[in-house]
Structure 1
Amino acid sequence: MTVDDQTFIVTGQVQQQAWRDRVLPPVEQVRPGLWSVPTPFPQSPLRYVLAYLLETPRGPVLVDTGWPSEDAWDGLVAGVRATGHEIGEVSAVLITHGHADHFGLARRIRRESGAPVMIHELEVAASHQFASIAEFRAADRLWLRRRGMPAAEIAALFPDGDGPPEWRDPPDVLLQDGDRPLGDAAAVRALWTPGHTPGHLCFVHEEHNVLLTGDHVLPRISPNISPSPRVRADTLGEYLGSLAAIEDMPVDEVLPAHEYRFRGLGARVRQLQEHHRARLREVIEAVVELDGPTTMAVAERLTWSRPWSESKGIVRRSAVGETYAHLLHLERRGLLTGGAGGEEAGLGQVDAWRPAAEAGVLVEALLR
């Protein structure tokens, strides 16, 4: 373990200042032939998405694209131009995962340049759980009802309107762990890191010894790990496993998709691991104190970055999903019981979480 592994150091200081000032950071060359290209993320507390442009013998390659909006598109086109290239020259698009702020402009780039779009095969499988945005919203309403969210809050979360037009748009290349999407001799390698999504990928640039982490490891926040409304997967367990897999990677710098660049991957991984250990203890304490609480009731008792009363809309939805991921992880470990079933269960079924042992035994089990 190197000194940098033990110390978290912000390297993207211009990006960090832009974050604090709530403005879009500039395009930056972070290594020879490797550029950070920010695009606006409208109406999101994340503010912007950091795409990356790699200069390769085949032409410029983009890692992630941005939200499907005109502002983001204009920002991406201008950002690519600032690197000395045009959007029509893009030769490939690598996608870290299937959230719209990452793949949302991929189809438009492909239309402009003919670039193939590449993503992990499990992201495609996840998108095919639902035939449409309407079907997803119906499943999510039922899921939230089982988590204990009041009907009025659920209704407010789902205004009328269509989702991103790229919903289920098929990629051209399906990736797996260890693939070299730009060719066997190229320096870029795909690294499967499930948790935030089933098929989340990081990309290792072996020549520059940097790790493009997408949403897997961010400098300031922990990525949301809510399970899909149709899957009772232990997403927290998957995420912790993916963190452990990269903890000792001796990379020189981490290039995330939000916020700012940093050094000290190992230090940041350990911060995230401790965050989740503390959250699990907090969840157990809430379940022990309450009498068969719903997931929503547990979420209200937890510590968040803002008061629960100020948590609205998708922020509250994310908090409930995050809480459920921790509860489900504890259930899988045999420490809690009481999670409501999937869609095949009765419509009236709601979570009623209870400890499977005394509180002291539960906490001791977490420490092992």
Structure 2
Amino acid sequence: MQLTPSLHRIGNDIVAAYLIVTAEGITVVDAGLPGFHRDLRRELAGIGRTLDDIRGVVLTHGDSDHVGFAERLRREHGVPVYVHAADAARARGGEKPKTPLGPVRLGPLLQFAAYGARKGIRPQWLTAVEEVSGGDVLPLPGEPRVIDMPGHSPGSVAVYSPAAAAIFVGDALTTRHVLTGRSGPGPAPFTDDPAEAIASLDRIAALPAAWVLPGHGPAFHGSPAEAVAAVRAASS
């Protein structure tokens, strides 16, 4: 799905991953679920590109519904996969702390489970990663900059691309709650430290972006400040 000529989304409002498309190549931000590999190929074919145009994958964190096809790209095409050092073990299948579910509605929960089953809920964990830290500007198309966003996980990050006027937030916030179906910017479920996640939003609020792109829910076409204010209102 094209958002702008330089921004594409694969997946849907339940789980999403993104492409930054430039003349020099493509950066993938998050890798969704394993079955997204077919969606990735289809999206690339639609714009006359191939897997060989991908220069790197940047993960916003190491959870199973974000690592998706990353290991397959790394293994089969030599594509480097970047993840924050604090989530490197998680991206390799390391232990994740149990978190309270919070509110749940049966319909959205079943939708999430069914979509996961269709797209391959069994994780394909990374066997090698390139570790990054907050402040790093990666040598990839779109000049993605890593912004520390601890809370959802210790190594959660946002990925800011000035060239694409977009910030990719992973699960730092959501625009569709996968367990309740609530729409609009709000806190994400399955968060290790909810208070820290809310505090981390200050790190993106002032960025000059036109798109805020979460791992779950529709793209937010507006400023990070507007998205952050909506999350804080929903969490109060």
Unaligned regions of 5+ residues in structure 1, if any? 1-26, 41-45, 145-161, 228-234, 278-368
The equivalent of 1:332 in structure 2 is none
More contact order relative to length (CA 8 Å, sep ≥ 6): 2
Q: Distance in 1 between matches of 2:92 and 2:54?
A: 27
Q: Distance in 2 between matches of 1:116 and 1:254?
A: 24
Q: Is the 8 A contact 2:19 2:26 kept in 1?
A: no
Read off the aligned partner of 1:63 and give its amino acid letter: V
Q: Distance in 1 between matches of 2:194 and 2:27?
A: 32
The equivalent of 1:241 in structure 2 is 199
Q: Distance in 2 between matches of 1:28 and 1:52?
A: 9
Distance 1:73 1:129, change over 3 A: closer
When Rg is computed on C-alpha atoms for both structures, the one with the higher figure is 1
Q: Are residues 1:251 and 2:209 paired? A: yes
CA RMSD of aligned residues (A): 2.9
Q: Are residues 1:86 and 2:50 paired? A: yes
Distance 1:54 1:237, change over 3 A: same
Q: State, as a whole percentage, how many aligned pairs show the same letter.
A: 22
**2:163 alignment partner, SS class:** coil
The equivalent of 2:230 in structure 1 is 271
Q: Are residues 1:223 and 2:188 paired? A: yes
The equivalent of 2:2 in structure 1 is 28
Aligned-pair CA distance for 1:56: 5.4
Q: Are residues 1:38 and 2:10 paired? A: yes
Aligned-pair CA distance for 1:248: 2.5
TM-score by length of 1: 0.50
After TM superposition, list the pairs within 5 Å mapping 1:93-132 onto structure 2. Answer: 93-126=57-90, 130=94
Question: Which deviates the most, 170-179 or 207-216?
Answer: 207-216
Which residue of 153, 157, 164 maps to 1:197? 153
Q: Are residues 1:77 and 2:77 paired? A: no
Distance 1:171 1:96, change over 3 A: farther
Distance 1:249 1:52, change over 3 A: same
Q: Which runs of 4+ in 1 moved over 6 A?
A: none
Distance 1:129 1:30, change over 3 A: closer
Q: Is the 8 A contact 2:65 2:123 kept in 1?
A: no
Distance 1:128 1:115, change over 3 A: closer
Q: Is the 8 A contact 2:22 2:142 kept in 1?
A: no
Q: Is the 8 A contact 1:94 1:118 kept in 2?
A: yes
Q: Distance in 2 between matches of 1:165 and 1:236?
A: 24
The equivalent of 1:65 in structure 2 is 31
Structure with bigger strand share is: 2
Distance 1:81 1:176, change over 3 A: same
Distance 1:254 1:86, change over 3 A: same
Distance 1:30 1:177, change over 3 A: same
Aligned residues: 208
Distance 1:251 1:226, change over 3 A: closer
Aligned-pair CA distance for 1:186: 6.3
Aligned-pair CA distance for 1:49: 1.2
Question: Which deviates the most, 119-128 or 198-207?
Answer: 119-128
The equivalent of 1:230 in structure 2 is none
Q: Distance in 1 between matches of 2:135 and 2:235?
A: 27
Distance 1:257 1:128, change over 3 A: closer
The equivalent of 2:132 in structure 1 is 175
TM-score by length of 2: 0.75
Unaligned regions of 5+ residues in structure 2, if any? 101-119, 176-183
